Amino acid sequence: MVKTKQQKIQDFLINNGVIIVMFILVIYTGFTSKNFFTGNNLMNILMNMSSRLVIALGIAGCVITAGCDLSAGRMIGFGGCIAGTLLQRMDYSNKFFPNMEPVNVFVAAILVMLICAVFGTVTGFFIAYLSVPPFIATLAMMEIVYGISLIYTKATPLGGYVKEYTDVANGKFLGINYLIWIAVIVAAITWFIFNMTRHGKYMYAIGGNPQAAEVAGVPVKKTLILIYMKAAAMYGLAGFMLGAKAGGASVQLGYGYEMEAIAACTIGGVSVTGGRGKVSSAIIGVAVFELLKAALQYLGVDANAQYIAIGIVIFVAISLDIRKYIAKK
């Protein structure tokens, strides 16, 4: 089918509408307010993006299998709190475990990921073997994890982290913060899993048509469990990263981030009906969100009104995205 030039331009505008609008907004902000186009600000936006991207990549796996994960936000808080309790200075007056030496930062990160992964496995088990809809299963896990966080921390905020931990956010390699490097590595690994392993292909197959996947010999149940396990580990890592950046954590850390992550994925092109979505989708979605927030802040838009702007972006972005698939019929 030969398309006219005008049709091509029209298609391009529709397919990339949100990104184009975002681009214009960013340029406009850059020209009207100084300091927006500075290395410092850019680094800031990238820092904000890094933990959000890790969350979005975790949730993307769930969304691609036509699921979702509401427990992400609470899992982040849980992860942040565990990391916090393990990495406080000896001389900090409110130390959670007063007599415990702070553990190695890497060990702490891995422990957090492992603990979260256990909870993700449980969620996955209910989804895969007991056929509980992901929406409900992760809702249940959200409540459970929040309760455990509250009991574990006795609802007190944590602070007084060792320098090694806060350095995860502030330290730099090649002039770029470690936090951003972590996100880049996670994105690379996720890309590899999505495109180069059986697990990734099975994930798309299950999202595309679960019955057909079963018939084609895809280990549907194991794949689903692995997806929720992997996602939970990534939320834990995100909690660890957010704690490092803030220099403290409370059980409220990450609250509501799951919704933003799901929205970011869908804006980038991960289809909630399953089977479609790439790593680049998550990156684009998260970038759109963080750039929007930063631009609005620089333009002096009321912080409360920013929520309205985000909501409108979701409406518009998803309507345009759905158009692509409807037009194909």
Partner 1 sequence: MAEYKLELKGVCKSFPGVKALDNVQLSLRPGTVHALMGENGAGKSTLMKCLFGIYKMDAGEIYLDGQKIEVNNPDEAMKHGIAMVHQELQPIPARSVGENLYLGRFPTKNFGPIKIIDHKTMYEETAKWLKEVKMDFDPKAQLGTLSIGQMQSVEIAKAVSQQAKVVIFDEPTSSLSDNEVEALFRIMNDLRKKGVTMVYISHKMDEIKRIADDITVMRDGTYVGTWRADELTTDQIIAKMVGRELTNVYPVRENKPGEVIMEVKNLSSIHTKSFQNVSFQLRKGEILGFGGLVGAQRTELMEGIFGIRGVASGEIYMHGKKLKIKHPIDAMNAGIGLITEDRRGSGIFGCLSIKDNVGVSVYNKYLKAGFILDHKNINRVVDDGISKLSIKTPSMKEHISNLSGGNQQKVIVSRWLANDPEVLIMDEPTRGIDVGAKHEIYEIIHDLAKQGKAIIMISSEMAELLGMADRVCVMCNGKLTGVIDKPEDMTQEKVMSYATQF
The single residue listed with the structure tokens 């702070």 is 102
Nearer to partner 1, 216 or 299 (CB): 216
Nearer to partner 1, 130 or 303 (CB): 130
For 88, the 3-state DSSP assignment is strand
Nearer to partner 1, 213 or 227 (CB): 213
Of 73, 80, 269, 274, the one binding partner 1 by CB under 8 A: 274
Nearer to partner 1, 84 or 274 (CB): 274
Q: Is 275 an interacting residue with respect to partner 1 (CB under 8 A)?
A: yes
Q: Is 172 an interacting residue with respect to partner 1 (CB under 8 A)?
A: no
Question: Is 192:257 a contact under the CB 8 Å cutoff?
Answer: no
CA separation for the pair 239, 231 (Å, rounded): 12
Q: Is 287 an interacting residue with respect to partner 1 (CB under 8 A)?
A: no
Of 20, 27, 299, 327, the one binding partner 1 by CB under 8 A: 327
| Per-residue interface string for the shown chain with partner 1, residues 135-154, x marking contact by CB under 8 A | --------------------
Nearer to partner 1, 174 or 215 (CB): 215
Q: Is the dihedral of CA 307, 262, 239, 296 positive or negative?
A: negative
CA separation for the pair 183, 50 (Å, rounded): 5
Among 140-148, 170-178, 267-275, 283-291, the segment contacting partner 1 (CB under 8 A): 267-275
Minimum Å distance from CB 119 to partner 1? 25
Minimum Å distance from CB 262 to partner 1? 19
CA separation for the pair 288, 281 (Å, rounded): 11
Hey, how many other C-beta atoms are within 10 angstroms of the C-beta on 77? 27
Nearer to partner 1, 108 or 282 (CB): 282
CA separation for the pair 48, 53 (Å, rounded): 9
Q: Is 89 an interacting residue with respect to partner 1 (CB under 8 A)?
A: no
Minimum Å distance from CB 215 to partner 1? 5
Give the start-end residues of each E strand in 162-300.
Answer: 172-173, 176-177
What are 254's two structure tokens?
A: 């990450």
| Per-residue interface string for the shown chain with partner 1, residues 185-224, x marking contact by CB under 8 A | ----------xxxx--xx-xx-xxx-xxxxxxxxx-----
CA separation for the pair 187, 132 (Å, rounded): 29
Give the start-end residues of each E strand in the chain.
Answer: 172-173, 176-177
Of 276, 279, 317, 321, the one binding partner 1 by CB under 8 A: 276
Q: Is 1 an interacting residue with respect to partner 1 (CB under 8 A)?
A: yes
Q: Is 174 an interacting residue with respect to partner 1 (CB under 8 A)?
A: no
Rg (CA), the chain: 21
Minimum Å distance from CB 201 to partner 1? 6
Nearer to partner 1, 80 or 274 (CB): 274
Question: Is 78:148 a contact under the CB 8 Å cutoff?
Answer: yes
Question: Is 205:213 a contact under the CB 8 Å cutoff?
Answer: yes
Q: What share of the chain is helix, strand, coil (3-state, %, to 5)?
A: 75, 0, 25
Minimum Å distance from CB 327 to partner 1? 7
- DSSP letters for 174-185: TTEEHHHHHHHH
Site size for partner 1 (CB under 8 A): 27
Which positions lie near partner 1, rule CB under 8 A? Answer: 1, 195-198, 201-202, 204-205, 207-209, 211-219, 271, 274-276, 327-328
